[in-house]
């Protein structure tokens, strides 16, 4: 046996980057918005592949395209017309679904103001060492994005859209009295006029990218004839093309990721806001937001000492419990008796 004499009280750093979280949100309903569900599930698949566990991913989907009556292949969602990958899969854990995807729940989640008794799976349990990826997809406009609500028994054309104004969402990332609830945050927004969503951010250490500038639409990529609708948006398509070439040990950077969709392929102009971010994105590994972080402490001086155990002793265990059954002698053999 080996005994390791090492330094006691090994403390991991309480400040700095120690863990990653992801908040992935699709705000759209109705079959013609199939691509938005494919967008968010594709990012979900990528961050899980790169190591972020489900316990640190909050997935919000306003509608379930996998079980939509119009889906020709029930229980599936694809992000490519070749249908190679079912991004819905067998291990998708949706935390907020359908009517739970509201402006109120979204803001409460990111500000930590959830009602008492909220399950841990629906809470963003970040700390001062947490890097947070926030991905938004759906319909948007100048200064807002839309969360569709469908009232029961209403037809799809009567769906009501609720505006989530930037003035309201600018409190998403906050610093409370107990200290910072995040280390760094990366906003990735794929909506029309996405850049307007981050224009009024003011909290420190936020890096943001939007698929389109103010006044521009964010366009879809291609149609799947078998499904009959667009199945992925352009910006997310090229972002995924980049992420598929990344592994947990990759040295690719956030600076490279911010350039994945030039206007020649995106058609819209991708906007980036980096003035609130203290680091140069060209020096930030992409796994700082899309991968897993496992803090370790390297020990410099370790002394190994052999311990002589000696020969094992043989121990006889005797039972002191009273016997449950009593031995009964055999019957008397009368042939042996003397007369």
**What residues act catalytically?**
139, 192
Residues in Cβ contact with 42 at an 8 Å cutoff, skipping those fewer than 6 apart: 79, 87, 232, 236, 240
Which is nearest to 183 in space by CA: 242, 107, 126, 229? 126
Q: Are 255 and 207 in contact (CB under 8 A)?
A: no
Q: How far apart are CA 73 and CA 86, in angstroms?
A: 10
Report CA torsion sign: 318, 321, 324, 328: positive
Helix, strand, coil content of the chain in percent (nearest 5)? 25, 20, 55
d(CA 74, CA 10): 51
Give yes or no for a contact between 88 and 77, defined as CB atoms under 8 angstroms apart.
yes
Distance CA 184, CA 181 (A): 9
Write 45-50 long-range contacts (CB < 8 A, 24+).
45/85, 45/87, 45/89, 46/240, 46/243, 46/244, 46/290, 47/22, 47/133, 47/290, 47/291, 50/243, 50/246, 50/247, 50/248, 50/287, 50/290, 50/291, 50/292
For 287, the token pair is 């796994």
Q: How many CB atoms within 10 Å of residue 5?
A: 10
């Amino acid at each position: 046996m080996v005994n390791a004499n090492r330094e006691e009280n090994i403390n991991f750093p309480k400040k700095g980057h120690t863990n990653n979280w992801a908040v992935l949100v699709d705000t759209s309903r109705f079959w013609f918005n199939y691509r938005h569900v494919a967008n968010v599930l594709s990012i979900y698949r990528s961050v899980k592949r790169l190591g972020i566990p489900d316990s640190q991913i909050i997935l919000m989907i306003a509608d379930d395209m996998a079980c939509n009556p119009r889906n020709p292949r029930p229980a599936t969602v694809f992000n490519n017309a070749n249908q190679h990958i079912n991004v819905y899969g067998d291990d998708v854990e949706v935390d907020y679904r359908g009517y739970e995807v509201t402006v109120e729940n979204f803001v409460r989640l990111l500000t930590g103001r959830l009602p008492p008794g909220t399950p841990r799976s629906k809470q963003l349990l970040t700390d001062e060492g947490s890097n947070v990826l926030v991905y938004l997809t759906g319909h948007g406009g100048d200064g807002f994005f839309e969360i569709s609500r469908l009232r029961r028994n209403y037809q799809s054309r009567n769906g009501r859209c609720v505006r989530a104004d930037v003035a309201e969402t600018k409190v998403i990332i906050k610093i409370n009295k107990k200290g910072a609830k995040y280390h760094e945050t990366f906003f990735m927004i794929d909506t029309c006029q996405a850049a307007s969503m981050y224009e009024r951010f003011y909290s420190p250490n936020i890096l943001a990218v939007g698929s389109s500038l103010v006044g521009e639409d964010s366009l879809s990529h291609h149609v799947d004839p078998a499904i009959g609708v667009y199945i992925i948006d352009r910006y997310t398509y090229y972002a995924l093309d980049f992420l598929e070439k990344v592994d947990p040990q990759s040295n690719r950077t956030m600076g490279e990721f911010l350039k994945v969709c030039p206007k020649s392929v995106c058609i819209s102009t991708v906007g980036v806001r980096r003035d609130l971010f203290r680091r140069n994105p060209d020096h930030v590994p992409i796994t700082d937001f899309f991968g897993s972080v496992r803090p370790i402490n390297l020990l410099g001086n370790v002394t190994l000492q052999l311990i002589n155990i000696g020969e094992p002793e043989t121990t006889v265990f005797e039972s002191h419990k009273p016997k449950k059954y009593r031995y009964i002698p055999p019957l008397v053999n009368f042939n042996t008796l003397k007369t």
